[in-house]
């Protein structure tokens, strides 16, 4: 079993820790391991949220360019599929996810962060999509997730130029959600997830699904997705628990079972 990405679960929160010094380059093996662990945390009932973390010094400086540099056009057809598959796997974790960004999150590293629901960055973080400087474009979701998050004009600026963005600018344009001191990034990321531990996990899964799928379709289709997911929750024990508790004790006092 590869230790290039490790999994720890504590207090209902899982940490997927990138562990490929010195820069956490995202090799094929790292991508495969991210997919395996994304499936595991998706299925575990004791996990309510997930932090993706690269450690105290760097999140991930990008895909492994040395691994790609000698590949042929035909070989890259398969390799490029892997790049999108591991970011898809993280994006499809049906629980709240936070990218805890220290140091560099560049290229595939930023694309991995974009696959999470939230991003917490250190004040010294540098993020960007520098693939254009190599004569290529982002291939792990950057052109799509970045433009959906910050808008097409700002996304084009970052992708066309390949420039690095400071934490403060990233916060100003909505690329990250919070900026803290470097030694507080992991704790701040966990703090974002702690309110969900023991919460209505089935409903949170439905809410994430409705928002993410709704972004890809027209409004009427999105409303139908919402309606279907909304009424499906009336088949759950958590809905019964939540409404009974609200009627008897007021809001915010329900003890959910995750069923």
The reply to whether 256 falls in a domain is no
Which tokens is 239 given?
């809905």
Whether 168 and 55 map to the same domain: the answer is yes
Average pLDDT along the chain: 94
Q: Which CATH number covers residue 242?
A: 1.10.12.10
Whether 113 and 51 map to the same domain: the answer is yes
Q: Is the pLDDT of residue 83 over 90?
A: no
Residue of 29, 67, 131, 240 marked active site: 131
Residue of 75, 111, 178, 216 marked active site: 111
- Is the pTM for the entire model greater than 0.85? yes
The reply to whether 30 falls in a domain is yes
What's the rounded Cα separation, in Å, for the pair 158 and 169?
A: 12
The reply to whether 174 falls in a domain is yes
- Could you report the per-residue pLDDT of 213-233, keeping only the tens digit for each? 999 999 999 999 999 999 999
Which tokens is 104 given?
């560099």
- Could you report the per-residue pLDDT of 143-179, keeping only the tens digit for each? 999 999 999 999 999 999 999 999 999 999 999 999 9
Whether 174 and 83 map to the same domain: the answer is yes
The reply to whether 20 falls in a domain is yes
Which pLDDT does position 258 carry in this prediction? 85
The reply to whether 131 falls in a domain is yes
Per DSSP, the three-state class of 224 is helix
Tallying the residues shown for the chain, one arrives at: 259
* Catalytic annotation present for 131: yes
Whether 83 and 172 map to the same domain: the answer is yes
Whether 23 and 71 map to the same domain: the answer is yes
22 in Cβ contact with 60 (< 8 Å)? no
- Domain boundary among the residues 163, 179, 196 is at 196
Whether 83 and 187 map to the same domain: the answer is yes
Per DSSP, the three-state class of 179 is strand
Domain that holds residue 141: 5-196
Residue 111, number of CB atoms within 10 A of its CB: 30
The dihedral formed by the CA atoms of 212, 121, 183 and 123, expressed in degrees to the nearest 10: -170
The reply to whether 257 falls in a domain is no
Whether 171 and 99 map to the same domain: the answer is yes
143 in Cβ contact with 155 (< 8 Å)? yes
Total domains, the chain: 2
Under DSSP, the state recorded for 1 is -
Instruction: Please report the beta strands in 11-117, taking only residues with DSSP state E, as ranges in sequence order.
Output: 13-18, 49-53, 97-101, 104-106
The reply to whether 34 falls in a domain is yes
* Catalytic annotation present for 111: yes
Q: Which CATH number covers residue 182?
A: 3.90.226.10
Whether 92 and 208 map to the same domain: the answer is no
- Could you report the per-residue pLDDT of 106-136, keeping only the tens digit for each? 999 999 999 999 999 999 999 999 999 999 9
């Amino acid at each position: 079993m590869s230790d290039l990405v490790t999994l720890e679960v504590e207090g209902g929160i899982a940490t997927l820790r990138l562990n490929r010094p010195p820069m956490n380059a995202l090799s094929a093996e790292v991508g495969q391991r991210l997919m395996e662990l994304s499936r595991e945390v998706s299925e575990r009932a004791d996990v309510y949220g997930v932090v993706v973390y690269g450690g105290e010094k760097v999140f991930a400086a990008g895909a492994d360019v040395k691994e790609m540099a000698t590949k042929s056009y035909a070989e890259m057809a398969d390799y490029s599929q892997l790049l999108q598959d591991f970011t898809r796997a993280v994006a499809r974790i049906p629980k709240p996810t936070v990218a805890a960004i220290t140091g560099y999150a560049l290229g595939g590293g930023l694309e991995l962060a974009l696959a999470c629901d939230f991003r917490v960055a250190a004040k010294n973080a540098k993020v960007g999509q520098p693939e254009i400087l190599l004569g290529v474009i982002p291939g792990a979701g950057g052109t799509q997730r970045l433009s959906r998050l910050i808008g097409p004009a700002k996304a084009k600026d970052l992708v066309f130029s390949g420039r690095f963005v400071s934490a403060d600018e990233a916060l100003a344009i909505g690329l990250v959600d919070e900026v803290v001191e470097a030694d507080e990034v992991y704790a701040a990321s966990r703090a974002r997830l702690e309110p969900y531990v023991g919460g209505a996990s089935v409903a949170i899964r439905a809410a994430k699904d409705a928002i993410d799928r709704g972004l890809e379709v027209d409004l009427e289709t999105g409303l139908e997705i919402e309606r279907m997911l909304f009424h499906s929750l009336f088949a759950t024990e958590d809905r019964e628990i939540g409404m009974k508790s609200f009627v008897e004790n007021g809001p915010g006092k329900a003890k959910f079972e995750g069923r």
